[in-house]
Amino acid sequence: MAHTSSLQHRLPHDGASTRTLRASEKTEQTVARSEALCRDRGVRLTPIRRRVLEVLHGFDKPLGAYDLVDLLSSQGRRMAPITIYRALEFLIDQGLVHRLASRNAYITSSGTPHDRRATTFLICEGCGDVNEITSPDVADTVLKVLQEQGYQPRTKILEITGRCARCQDVH
């Protein structure tokens, strides 16, 4: 369950066409699953919410709200940032998207949206890669500590910044 660097995947000598195809199929599946989930919950994945989810999933790396505005604006018609923020707010509420506070950026969740346990993101300061870790051990420990502290968390997202294994090799 890793969000790997999508830029690396788009290098032409790296089988770009097959990877891109596979990625878009994956995106379609995720969006279809998210749509079903919204239907079950009686909320609507409107076209703009759907587009934001598609773009975030397609990039597979964190994007800022203004990146989304740029990507979703059609030629000559710029989208209002508030429209994107509202869509993001909805997607976060539904557990489909996470906001990375340290980056002020948004990323899709690779875990099931039902899973409300703690999610850990390992963020590389070298290449910007974000790896989502869904470890029950980490989640259980975090929840236990929160309970002991009598603390009511608003978010259960852990962000750890540093350098990924690949970037540690670069000298």
Residues 110-139 that bind Zn ion (CB under 5 A): 124, 126-127, 129
Residue 73 is classified by DSSP as P
Binding-site residue total for Zn ion (CB under 5 A)?
6
Residue with tokens 């540093």: 162
> Candidates 30-38, 55-63, 133-141, 160-168 — which segment interacts with Zn ion by CB under 5 A?
160-168
Chain length of the chain: 171
Residue 113 is classified by DSSP as T
Q: Toward Zn ion, which CB reaches closer, 126 or 153?
A: 126
Q: Toward Zn ion, which CB reaches closer, 49 or 103?
A: 103
Q: Does 65 sit near Zn ion (CB under 5 A)?
A: no
Q: Does 6 sit near Zn ion (CB under 5 A)?
A: no
CA dist., res. 31 & res. 35, Å (int):
6
Could you tell me if 116 and 107 are in contact, meaning their C-beta atoms sit under 8 angstroms apart? no
Neighbours of 170 (CB within 10 A): 8
Which amino acid is it at 30?
T
- Name the minimum Å distance from CB 165 to Zn ion: 8
The binding site for Zn ion (CB under 5 A) comprises: 124, 126-127, 129, 164, 167
